[in-house]
Amino acid sequence: MSGRQKKLLQQLGLWVLIVIISVYALFPFYYAIITSFKSGSAIFQVTYWPTDFSLANYWGVLAQGRFPRNIFNSIVVSFAVVVLSLLLAVTAAYALARVRFQGRGILLFTILSVSMFPQIAVLAGLFEMVRGLGLYNNLLSLILAYMIFTLPFTVWVLTTFMRDLPIELEEAAIVDGAKPHQIIFQVFMPLMWPALVTTGLLAFIAAWNEFLFALTFVSNDAQRTVPVAIALLSGATEQEIPWGPIMAASVIVTVPLVILVLIFQRRIVAGLTAGAVKG
Amino acid sequence: MVTATSSLPQAEIPAGRKKKTQLTREKIRAAWIFLTPMILVLLAVAAWPLIRTIWLGFTDARLSVPGSGQWIGFENYLFWLDYGDGEGEWIGLLADPTWWRAVWNTVYFTVIAVSIETLLGLLVALVLNAQFAGRGFVRAAILVPWAIPTIVSAKMWDWMLNDQFGILNDMFMTLGLISAPIAWTSSPDTAMAAVIMVDVWKTTPFMALLILAGMQMLPGDVYEAAKVDGIHPVKVFFKVTLPLIKPAIMVAVIFRMLDSLRIFDLIYVLTPNNAQTVTMSVYARQHLFDFDNFAYGSAASTLLFLIIAGITIVYIYAGRVNLSGDK
């Protein structure tokens, strides 16, 4: 085999792999979409290509029942979680990245270990607290509880990002008489938009997707978030699972995420890998 | 002046020593003020609930009995129940075969799923590391499974794995791989395989991206040199690439492992009531809320926490994984 043939064969192998990977990654979502457009008995006919374009399932999910309310709940919780965790994390990250003080290493290590906590380990204690504070069936309980996984991560990524900002900026600001909070909000903040967008996005996705706390701290249909609502969508009997509406609901809650991912894919990849492989 | 101090940010400068230390002290005070809100929130949502969970594991708390929660020591963990006639039996978590079954299920799931994800992730990372048109598209495509909520992916796969109308059975039958439809999620033989299948689909992208990030930091000249020397690419991969990206793989594996050990959502939705897939988290939650056994569930949660903490420490120590990001 000549060198050129060999190269051609390598290229072919690469492209076969590329196609397999793409199809593997996208097929389940594609299949959910084509299923969601089928109505009636068409749904029980396995097809590989789109055949129906009925909006009945979407209409059923959005116009009847509480699903729109669930979407609203998820939006409220996710935005609140993003704002709160960014606010708490930016100031904390400045302290951790820019100031040398005793206990800094231990604090960083503790924050990192919190992010490795299994959620179930705090479930009983949190449940007790949520009930004690009268927050059961209240979205506030979720906003508070979600801090356990968004906050450590946000602090961590923002700290690594801030550590790399040039020291000259800070020195110049100090010479100009700037106080620490002015340094954060007037000098660093404008430079930190990329990191804020990344961490905010990841916190949003984490909050939007969370299930265990949402299942446990809310038992009232009107207060449920989207993942729990989808998990509990059921028919009259075990045999009558409403696959059409479930797929429509799944597509509705996933499409915004997929769009976000497509727009911000570079930032998301940077955020996912920050801290993990740095240094 | 700015440049003079900036080159020695931490060093003491004799002339302005007094001013410097005062400034530093002020800065440290500000740092603690900045840190306090975050620390308070983490104490409230992480430290306190964890302590309470551990405490509750030593009590007889039940949600149905208000005011319950007497200290009973290790009875939830291990307790000799004396029948009074010289006979008796060990009860408690450590003597509960269902608990050990859950431990085994979790470990089994973690080992198999993370191994497959590591190998597939490595393959995907290698492909994405190559230069080709449309690389951005493929990278975006593999992010889709990662972004889809676990519950949604469980439902999507539940539908694809449906025994009567599922496309997977249809595919496998068309290809002649199976002769009769399989009830993937309800049959005890295949329930765990179904869970692993969905988990692999959902989390391989994360693995691939972490490994890819490690690959992209490799120095290009090593490969140039290997190419000039005419070394076979396969050999280059095993002798150069693999050792160099080992730290990235180790970090990715530990993140995935910690995630798998606490798996809950996927199993709760995909294979409920299937003894073959009850993991530690599922077991703990069942006792906490479904079986009205709050204290016992707390004890199980505590054990899960200890197991995960133990594995993490051993892994970090054995692999010398540098998680701190400090050089």
Is the pLDDT score of A102 beyond 70? yes
Q: Which of B116, B137, B156 to mutate to test the interface with A (most CBs of A within 10 A)?
A: B156
Q: Are B318 and B268 in contact (CB under 8 A)?
A: no
Is the pLDDT score of B36 beyond 90? yes
- Contacts by B111-114, CB closer than 8 A, 24 or more apart: B112/B196, B113/B196, B113/B199, B113/B200, B113/B203, B113/B260, B114/B253, B114/B256, B114/B257, B114/B260
Q: Closest Cα of chain A to B151: distance in Å?
A: 6
Q: Which of B135, B143, B262 to mutate to test the interface with A (most CBs of A within 10 A)?
A: B143
Contact residues, chain A, for B166 at CB < 8 Å: 46
The per-residue pLDDT of chain B, averaged, comes to: 86
CB distance B139–A114 less than 8 Å? no
Out of A167-171, A245-249, B56-60, which region has the weakest mean confidence (pLDDT)? Answer: A167-171
DSSP-assigned letters across all residues of B86-123 = S-EEEESGGG-HHHHHHHHHHHHHHHHHHHHHHHHHHH
Output the pLDDT for position A276.
Answer: 53
Contact residues, chain B, for A185 at CB < 8 Å: none
Output the pLDDT for position B121.
Answer: 95
Using a pLDDT cut of 90, give the percent of chain B over it. 48
Q: Closest Cα of chain A to B22: distance in Å?
A: 13
Q: Are B163 and B157 in contact (CB under 8 A)?
A: no
Using one digit for the tens of pLDDT, what is the confidence trace for A38-84?
A: 988 888 888 888 888 889 999 988 987 789 999 999 999 999 999 99
Tell me the β-bridge partners of B91: B79
- Residues 6 or more apart in contact with residue B73 via CB below 8 angstroms: B58
Q: Which of B35, B141, B209 sits opposite A25 (nearest CB)?
A: B141
What is the rounded average pLDDT of the residues B28-54?
A: 93
CB distance A17–B48 less than 8 Å? no
CB distance A46–B140 less than 8 Å? no
Ordered by start, the domain boundaries in chain A are 3-54, 58-273
Angle at A87 between CA A86 and CA A93, to 5 degrees: 75
The C-alpha atoms of residue B55 and residue B69 are separated, in whole angstroms, by 10
CB distance A257–B35 less than 8 Å? no
Out of A93-102, A145-154, A172-181, which region has the weakest mean confidence (pLDDT)? Answer: A172-181
ipTM of the complex: 0.90
Helix B294-319 vs helix A119-132: crossing angle, to nearest 10: 140
The C-alpha atoms of residue A153 and residue A199 are separated, in whole angstroms, by 8
Q: Are B271 and B194 in contact (CB under 8 A)?
A: yes
Contact residues, chain B, for A167 at CB < 8 Å: 6, 9
DSSP-assigned letters across all residues of B141-160 = HHHHHHHS-HHHHHHHHHHH
Is the pLDDT score of A275 beyond 70? no
Is the pLDDT score of A232 beyond 80? yes
Output the pLDDT for position A185.
Answer: 84
Q: Which of A108, A124, A172 sits opposite B288 (nearest CB)?
A: A124
Contact residues, chain A, for B170 at CB < 8 Å: 46
Q: Which of B141, B268, B288 sits opposite A22 (nearest CB)?
A: B141
Output the pLDDT for position A279.
Answer: 31
Contact residues, chain A, for B51 at CB < 8 Å: 125
CB distance A122–B53 less than 8 Å? yes
Q: Which of B164, B305, B327 sits opposite A279 (nearest CB)?
A: B327
CB distance A112–B170 less than 8 Å? no
Res. B207 pLDDT band, cuts 50 70 90: very high
Within a 10 A sphere around the Cβ of A46, how many other Cβ atoms?
A: 18
Nearest chain B residue (CA) to A244: B159
Out of A3-7, A196-200, B37-41, which region has the weakest mean confidence (pLDDT)? Answer: A3-7
Output the pLDDT for position B125.
Answer: 93
Res. A269 pLDDT band, cuts 50 70 90: confident
Is the pLDDT score of A237 beyond 70? no
Output the pLDDT for position A234.
Answer: 74
CB distance A117–B132 less than 8 Å? no
Q: Which of A116, A119, A258 sits opposite B144 (nearest CB)?
A: A258
Output the pLDDT for position A115.
Answer: 79
Contact residues, chain B, for A172 at CB < 8 Å: 2
A58-273: CATH topology is: MetI-like fold (1.10.3720)
Contact residues, chain A, for B251 at CB < 8 Å: 276-277
Q: Is the dihedral of CA A85, A87, A90, A92 positive or negative?
A: negative
Using one digit for the tens of pLDDT, what is the confidence trace for B228-244?
A: 888 888 888 888 888 88
Q: Are B300 and A114 in contact (CB under 8 A)?
A: no
Using one digit for the tens of pLDDT, what is the confidence trace for B262-297?
A: 999 999 999 987 889 999 999 999 999 999 999 999
Output the pLDDT for position B48.
Answer: 95
| Helix, strand, coil percentages in chain B from 3-state DSSP, rounded to 5 | 70, 5, 30
CB distance B156–A28 less than 8 Å? yes
Out of A115-119, A184-188, A255-259, A272-276, which region has the weakest mean confidence (pLDDT)? Answer: A272-276
- Please tell me which residue, B151 or B23, carries the higher pLDDT value: B151
CB distance A175–B1 less than 8 Å? yes
Using one digit for the tens of pLDDT, what is the confidence trace for A103-128?
A: 888 898 888 888 777 899 999 999 99
The C-alpha atoms of residue B63 and residue B42 are separated, in whole angstroms, by 26
Res. B4 pLDDT band, cuts 50 70 90: very low
CB distance B132–A15 less than 8 Å? yes
Output the pLDDT for position B322.
Answer: 54
Output the pLDDT for position A182.
Answer: 85
Output the pLDDT for position B52.
Answer: 95
Is the pLDDT score of A186 beyond 90? no
